[in-house]
């Protein structure tokens, strides 16, 4: 049985840990409001852009379609762009993203496809490297940026488009978390390149719309912007998901620390009472012996 001094030290240690987890929970809650607002504000823009692309893509086909829309004509080589967080202490968020990426890779390999990884963020590197060390194309580090934004998304998108133009892959998939709430962040796998033809039409039914310049020229400029928007949206969703998962994880850690403190306090009180009783028995026994 642990001594009273050891129990007291453990109680103080757990109390210190509880203070840290409580502070991190409050910080994550404050950051979550901003991150959630940014993620939700970006969604209507992406939806509207998809609608405009749907209208343009429906009028362009065949050899006139840009490569980002038409593809390479093959789907042999696949690139998985996995967006993980740079920091830990956010529950099972990164594990779920990596799990979704590995499941997608496994299914593609089973179909006879060549699969490689493009990793964004630090926390997904080690688990993916254990199984697919020879398939990792690049690590893109966002840890040195306090709040990764459109500039980082633009760098990632430009690099991906350049690799696509060079013929390094045929299809790119974006694996990232979608923020639902502080308790739910769903890993999602979307095709990024070639840009999938969006469903729906933003022009308003049977209205006749004339574009100037032509649809092909507009798409040439719009498709790279769409890729950048999708990557930017995934970074915003990642930030919101990270703060939500971190807040939930720190809340659970704080509660668990409180339960452990209660158990250790009961154990300490029992040990202290037993020590006092033993001392009283020794004193009484000594007095009777005299």
Active site residues: 90
Contact 216, 60 (CB under 8 A): yes
Task: Tell me the pairing of strands 136-140 and 114-120.
Answer: parallel
Query: What are the phi and psi torsion angles at 21 (to 5°)?
Result: -65, -35
Q: Helix and strand tally (H, E) in the chain?
A: 6, 5
Q: Are 51 and 201 in contact (CB under 8 A)?
A: yes
Q: Report d(CA 89, CA 168) in Å as an integer.
A: 35
- The backbone region for 181, taken as left when phi is positive above 0, alpha when psi lies in -120 to 50, beta otherwise, is beta
Distance from chain centroid for Cα 13:
31
d(CA 67, CA 164): 9
Angstrom distance (rounded) from CA 97 to CA 83: 8
How many angstroms from the chain centroid is the CA of residue 99?
A: 12
């Amino acid at each position: 049985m642990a001594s009273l001094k050891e129990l007291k030290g453990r109680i103080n240690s757990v109390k210190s840990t509880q203070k840290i987890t409580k502070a991190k929970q409050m910080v994550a809650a404050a950051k979550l409001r901003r991150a959630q607002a940014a993620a939700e504000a970006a969604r209507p823009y992406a939806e509207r852009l998809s609608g405009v692309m749907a209208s343009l893509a429906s009028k362009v086909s065949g050899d006139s379609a840009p490569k980002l829309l038409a593809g390479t004509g093959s789907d042999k080589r696949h690139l998985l762009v996995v967006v993980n967080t740079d920091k830990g202490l956010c529950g099972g968020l990164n594990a779920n993203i990596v799990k979704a990426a590995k499941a997608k890779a496994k299914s593609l390999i089973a179909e006879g496809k060549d699969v490689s990884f493009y990793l964004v963020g630090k926390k997904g590197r080690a688990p993916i490297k254990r199984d697919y060390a020879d398939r990792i194309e690049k690590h893109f580090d966002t840890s040195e940026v306090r709040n990764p934004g459109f500039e980082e998304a633009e760098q990632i998108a430009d690099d991906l488009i350049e690799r696509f133009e060079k013929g390094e892959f045929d299809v790119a998939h974006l694996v990232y978390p979608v923020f639902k709430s502080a308790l739910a962040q769903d890993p999602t796998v979307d095709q990024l390149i070639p840009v999938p033809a969006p469903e729906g039409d933003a022009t308003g039914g049977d209205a006749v719309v004339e574009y100037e310049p032509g649809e092909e020229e507009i798409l040439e400029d719009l498709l790279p912007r769409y890729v950048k928007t999708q990557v930017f949206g995934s970074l915003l969703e990642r930030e919101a998901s990270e703060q939500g998962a971190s807040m939930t994880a720190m809340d659970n850690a704080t509660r668990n620390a409180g339960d452990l403190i209660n158990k250790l306090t009961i154990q300490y009180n029992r040990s202290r009472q037993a020590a006092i009783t033993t001392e009283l028995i020794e004193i009484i026994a000594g007095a009777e012996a005299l």
